[in-house]
Amino acid sequence: MRRFHIVGVLLLIPAMMLPLIVGCDKGKDTPKTNGGDQKPKTVVAVDITAPTDAVVKGVVKYKGSAFEPELEPGIKGHKEEALCMKGPGNDTKVQKWLVGKDGGLANVVVSLEPPAGKKYKIDDKLIDPFKKKEVVLDQPFCAYHPHVSAVYAKVQPFVVKNSAKFSHNTNIKPGPKNLPKNALIEPGQSWAPLVFEAESTPINISCELHGFMSAKLWVFNHPYFAVTNENGEFTIENVPSGEELIVNMWHESMDKKKEFEKHSFKKGENTVTGMEVSK
């Protein structure tokens, strides 16, 4: 009888485990209720199809006390100091803060960005002019001309040349979407035109033979950008009218682009006012 009792116990063990096994299987087959298995929905941006008949102008001003431009400290004592000092105008000055007429600030990048959920619809009529509109970065003495520039990604050619009577080394350090480029440029020489992918931050450019030289390049995925001239002035053409756009600005003193305002531009000329940058 004792042997039969043991056998009975052994037969009961699988029966007792059956609910646990069924329960585990049931848990695996039950779909999650928190949406964890569902793929996120892809948001498709809507094209901005408004007429591109607006022109946006403005002046970015320096906000602060007047100051005298400082001599670029790296020039002093450099082996080519005498050649560097022959540069005209602001060539020998610190390039970061160049203030012109009526407090206008040079080298500020202004861009018009579409709002969330929208994107520019850009046709060949807008693209074609940029294909022929080279942006040239020159180094005639010991400063880059211009100090800040901007191009249309995958469309607008960027040329680096050396019109100085001495050698320059140009080192382009882009973000993750572009390859770096670093080479000596002899007097009178230039690189073949370069075309860049859009970057979310400016590309740094420097000269290893003159370590104090630097330049910045912005690459946009649309044509709605400009860099202020020596008097802080800018113009952006062929802007969609009647659509609220985001006016962004960037200066070398800023970590990133900053939103200035949201604005819907009318057909014809529009003027953006109140744009200022302070130290």
User: Collapsing DSSP states into helix, strand and coil, what is residue 92?
Assistant: helix
pLDDT at 91: 92
Cα atoms found within 13 Å of the Cα of residue 58, Cβ hemisphere only: 25
pLDDT at 249: 98
pLDDT at 32: 47
pLDDT at 37: 57
pTM for the full model? Answer: 0.84
Distance CA 189, CA 150 (A): 22
pLDDT tens-digit map of 257-275:
999 999 999 999 999 999 9
What's the residue count for the chain? Answer: 279
Distance CA 105, CA 232 (A): 4
What's the mean per-residue pLDDT of the chain? Answer: 89
Spell out, as residue ranges, where the chain has pLDDT lower than 50.
1-34
Question: Residues 106, 228: contact at Cβ < 8 Å?
Answer: yes
Pull the structure tokens for residue 210.
């003159």
Domains, the chain: 46-277 (2.60.40.420)
Cis peptide before 146 (omega within 30 of 0): yes
